[in-house]
Amino acid sequence: MSLQVWVTVVGSCAGFCTTVAFIPQVWRIWKQGGNDISYAMLFIYILGVMLWLTYGLLLHAQAIIVANCATAVLLLLALGLKWWKEGSKQDV
């Protein structure tokens, strides 16, 4: 395999791992609420993902773009779930 193929494989695997790693957190927020997760952490994480996405777009690096788009969706879902779960607790 050429170097470019290896770079793409490694980048895709890295992006897959770092994106999928956040799924259990989203699931936990869905089931238990997000009291133990700070909004500051989520906002800083989203900022970092958006910067990585911008970097990937500037380089036309598909692995970086896809991974960070998926991670951004998961983070926005986590943020929305946290906000929704906290709001539903106040209604009780």
For 80-90, what is the mean pLDDT? Answer: 84
What does the alpha-carbon distance between residue 16 and residue 8 come to, in Å, rounded to a whole number?
12
pLDDT tens across 34-44, in order?
888 889 999 99
55, two tokens: 């970097």
Q: State whether residue 73 is helix, strand or coil.
A: helix
Q: Which CATH architecture has domain 3-91?
A: Up-down Bundle (1.20)
Confidence class of residue 92 from pLDDT cuts 50, 70 and 90?
A: low
Q: Please report, for the chain, the start and end positions of each structural domain, with discontinuous segments joined by +.
A: 3-91
74, two tokens: 């998961």
Confidence class of residue 87 from pLDDT cuts 50, 70 and 90?
A: confident
